[in-house]
Amino acid sequence: MPRVADHDARHAEITDAVQRLIVRHGLTAVTVARTAAEAGMSVGLVQHYFTAKDEMLLATFIRVNGRFTARVDELVNRGEAEGRTIVEMLRQALTELMPLDDARRAELLVRRAFADQAAHNARLAAVQRETLVGIRSRVARAINNGTVCGEVAHGIDAADQALRIVAFTEGLALHTHIDPDGTRKPVVLAALDDQLGRIFTGTCGRARLG
């Protein structure tokens, strides 16, 4: 067990170092040597855990997306425990995609860097697609649950609306990233509320995101 824990810890240290390099210098600046220096370990140790740079980058991309998923799970669990409405939990979850603070801004930089690389890398593209499908699926599930409890009117196509909501959210995230001074947080959140308000038009006494 200690060896597994150590293995996981080393993986985390290395992929965290890759993320920091991407935020500061871009994906093309990432090398095994620079990653080793950033992580405070030898090149040989990095190569022990990742035999190729592509493997290291893939692991980093998976870790970034996994962090987002874990945060959403935590928000949902906390929201359910507090009795929040589905739309409130969904709003919170979607804001995790937006660069509204330093941590989420850095994460967006990493996701965008990998998105460009994924256009020419089938393995990165598969992770990107799987993550996107997962996000849309979660939103669709929230809409379906909203229909059951009364927050969403019957007859709404959950998959169709999930696509629109996620695309809208990512558009807001991109605008905020490109022009942070001209895309103020209150305006961004109000726009998201307006989009969600078009679907979640009712009220519900119990909150479940599923």
Per-residue pLDDT of the chain (210 residues; tens, 9 = 90+): 445 558 789 999 999 999 999 999 999 989 999 999 999 999 999 999 999 999 999 999 999 998 888 988 898 888 888 888 999 999 999 999 999 999 999 999 999 999 888 989 999 999 999 999 999 999 999 999 999 989 999 999 999 999 999 999 999 999 999 999 999 999 999 999 999 999 999 987 554 444
**Within the chain, which residue ranges are assigned CATH 1.10.357.10?**
52-210
Can you tell me the distance from the alpha carbon of 197 to that of 85, in angstroms, rounded to the nearest whole number?
13
Superfamily of the domain at 52-210: Tetracycline Repressor, domain 2 (1.10.357.10)
Portions of the chain given CATH number 1.10.10: 1-51
Q: Find the helix packing angle between 122-149 and 86-95, rounded to 10°.
A: 160
Instruction: Give domain 1-51's CATH architecture.
Output: Orthogonal Bundle (1.10)
> For residue 1, what pLDDT is reported?
42
What pLDDT sits at residue 2? 47
The pLDDT value recorded for residue 22 is 95
Q: Which residue has the tokens 């493997």?
A: 55
CB proximity list for 153: less than 8 A, separation 6 or greater: 147, 201, 202
pLDDT for residue 170:
95
End-to-end, the C-alpha distance of the chain in Å comes to 33
Looking at the DSSP bridge assignments, the partners of residue 152 are 200
Torsion of CA 121, 122, 123, 125, to 10 degrees: 90
Which residue has 């998923």 as its token pair?
69
List all residues 6 or more positions away from 181 whose beta carbon is below 8 Å from its beta carbon. none
